[in-house]
Chain A
Amino acid sequence: MLSTYTYPKFEYRTPPELNGKPKQRHPVVVIGAGPVGLATAIDLAQQGLQVILLDDDDSVSIGSRGVCYAKRTLEVLDRLGCGQALVDKGVTWNVGRTFFDTEEVFNFDLLPDAGHERPGMINLQQYYMEEFLVKRATQLAAIDIRWKHKVSKIEPSKDGVIVVIDTPDGSFSIDADWLVVADGARSPVRRQLGLEIDGKVFQDRFLIADVVMKADFPAERWFWFDPPFHRNQSVLLHRQADSVWRIDFQLGWDADPEEEKKPENVIPRIRAMLGDEREFELEWVSVYTFQCRRMQKFRHGRILFAGDSAHQVSPFGARGGNSGIQDADNLGWKLRAVVEGIASERLLDSYSDERGYAADENLQNSTRSTDFITPKSSTSKIFRNAVLDLAREHAFARSLVNSGRLSVPAFLTESQLNTSDTDLFEGWMMPGAPMDDAPVQVNGLDTWLLRQVSNASHEFTLLIFGTNAIDLPELPWKVRVLRVIQRDGLSNPGDVVDTEGLVARRYDGRSGTVYLLRPDQHVAARWRNFDATALRNALSKALCLI
């Protein structure tokens, strides 16, 4: 098979622990240098924490695997210092089209409103994403990445964890105050600890073919129900970087994965789809099944599970990798606040609660998509096809067509970290909401609202509309004041000028309005007028101090 990508080989070094270096206790150890482990390590290191990152391999993931990275992931990676690298290499898209037989029955636009820096989605092979994250991680002196370090045993204790590690030079152990486990869906650590992960296995098989070809299809997501070239099944097409295209064929449960993977069986399927004239080469082929399941709790004492090790979904909706990055984003500031003694340890239970809530939403949506795409009974299939029939003509049926509800960040409206509204607001930026972006100017330069909030410094932000003077009270953690000034208003250096009025519109901001924003860019509280006591209480609540 052809290869458009050269896998990097990262250097294994003999661990200093085996060279006679005295054993040290580490504040945080992260297991797994996939997207989630890398994002967690970068986040913590940017906040000044020393991190050991362990990986049993010495390269990036093999095969393109994860493909779709959502707006929210890009916004998180912007704060981690590598969002632009992904956008530059990736294929930007917003529109998805769904076909039934030969006709288009439904389309969606992930970002119908202008005024956001990042697109709804980019497509990029997972190995590129990991490569960019590794590159960023190696720029940070606080991260010690250990390749070819395979964790063989975890021994939890009341105030820490002992991690036993095998390397090519032998075994040793390290002590950690906190352990983040991002070792993937099969999670050897989760298994060794005997922790359960419950849910549903779907009895269906899908074939992934990554194909290198020259094609001028638009950069859109195309999904077929029952197309002439693959009857009674579904097909999904995505464009990736380097003229690589992802084609995903539903095969059914009875398919033989080993037979289906053979090029002589894959190539005719692709020919039937693309026509005989189109030249292409296979780059990667895989047959997969999937499960929808989650751990009950993502925190077990000093051990925190993130990404696929904690929850797994079907691929329809791109809710796997994208939710893992949001786990890292949610965990980073909380772990730092607990390690530094600013917040109560209970803040880490809120990591489990908030990301568990998000996992439930992802499980619900991806399970519904799967049930629509692969109906489990003849009645279910009759309804599904009736929706697709009616969708040609009737708007209500188009809204029921479910070929995947694509990843968006959860509105953490149930979180105990929120302070409920006492004033009236329009719009969607309620406590728990992920922040909306907007075009702004700072110091005369065009930029974006999200770029101004917790960019690498990870403090809480107090967003104040207008120029009203305020006196910050004594607070349990640093809060950075950021002012939003109307376009023609008088602004000081560093103020956010609302050039198009979109900040005011999206946040229903009037002169005097105040938002308390978390380091992960979720709204914690908001008021029509600044009140020092209310702010102190809200911040204390967001840190689980009260």
Chain B
Amino acid sequence: MNYLNTQPQFGIPGERFVRAFQPGDDFYEALIETHVGLTDEQSQKVNARLVLLLANHIGDLRVLREALAAARKDS
């Protein structure tokens, strides 16, 4: 992969975290909480919107194509 960064990146610019796992765990909790109380069908819709929002934020088609391939792998 030439463009997709798969190293840990979660954080807030300029902020230090005493525990390296903290920002990743913060994100994961927020992700799971977003789905609390939703049916499976509703969750699928939320996930689709989320992919589209993040894809647009990234924008770079070279990154997105690699991400799509990595996600599809072994499915």
Interface residues of A (CB under 8 A from B): 365, 368, 371-372, 377-380, 383, 387, 389-390, 393-397, 399-400, 402, 405, 408, 411, 428
Contact = CB atoms under 8 A, between A and B. Distances in A.
Interface in B1-50: 6-10, 18-21, 24-25, 27-29, 31-32, 35-36, 38, 40, 43, 47
What are the nearest 5 A-B pairs in CB distance? A394-B6, A379-B43, A399-B8, A396-B8, A379-B35
Size band of the interface chain B makes with A: 20 to 34
B70 interface: yes
24 contacts: A368-B25, A368-B28, A371-B29, A377-B36, A377-B43, A379-B38, A380-B32, A380-B35, A394-B6, A395-B7, A396-B8, A396-B9, A396-B10, A399-B8, A399-B20, A399-B21, A399-B24, A400-B25, A400-B27, A400-B28, A405-B19, A405-B21, A405-B25, A411-B18
Contacts of A408: 19
A470 B10 CA distance: 45
B75 to A, nearest CB: 9
Nearest to B4: A394
B18 A428 contact: yes
Looking at B28, B47, B70, the one whose CB has the most chain A CB atoms below 10 A away is B28
B70 A394 contact: yes
B20 A368 contact: no
B25 A371 contact: no
Task: Give the secondary structure class of A's interface.
Answer: helix
Interface string B44-75: 00010000000000000000000000100010
Task: Give the secondary structure class of B's interface.
Answer: loop
Given A379-B43, A394-B6, A396-B9, A402 B19 contact: no
Given A399-B21, A405-B19, A408-B19, 5 more contacts: A379-B43, A395-B7, A399-B10, A405-B21, A428-B18
Contacts, number: 56
B37 to A, nearest CB: 9
Nearest to B34: A379
B8 A368 contact: no
Contacts of B28: 368, 372, 383, 387, 400, 402
Contact of B32 (A371, A390, A397, A428): A371
B28 to A, nearest CB: 6
A371 B29 CA distance: 9
A138 to B, nearest CB: 38
A395 B31 CA distance: 19
Contact of B6 (A368, A371, A395, A428): A395
A436 B10 CA distance: 26
A365 B20 CA distance: 13
A397 B38 CA distance: 25
Nearest to B20: A399
B6 A383 contact: no
A365 B40 CA distance: 26
A323 to B, nearest CB: 15
A325 B60 CA distance: 51
B40 A378 contact: yes
Nearest to A387: B28
B46 to A, nearest CB: 9
A153 to B, nearest CB: 43
A504 B31 CA distance: 41
Contacts of B10: 396, 399
A372 B10 CA distance: 18
Contacts of A390: 70
Given A378-B40, A405-B19, A428-B18, A395 B8 contact: yes
A394 B33 CA distance: 24
B9 to A, nearest CB: 6
B39 to A, nearest CB: 9
Contact of B74 (A371, A379, A389): A389
A377 B27 CA distance: 18
Contacts of A396: 6-10, 24
Contacts of A428: 18
A411 B18 CA distance: 8
Given A368-B29, A405-B19, A377 B6 contact: no
A428 B74 CA distance: 42
A365 B25 contact: yes
A372 B31 CA distance: 12
Nearest to B5: A396
Contacts of B18: 411, 428
A393 B18 CA distance: 26
B29 A383 contact: no
Given A395-B6, A408-B19, A400 B24 contact: yes
A378 B32 CA distance: 11
Contacts of B24: 396, 399-400
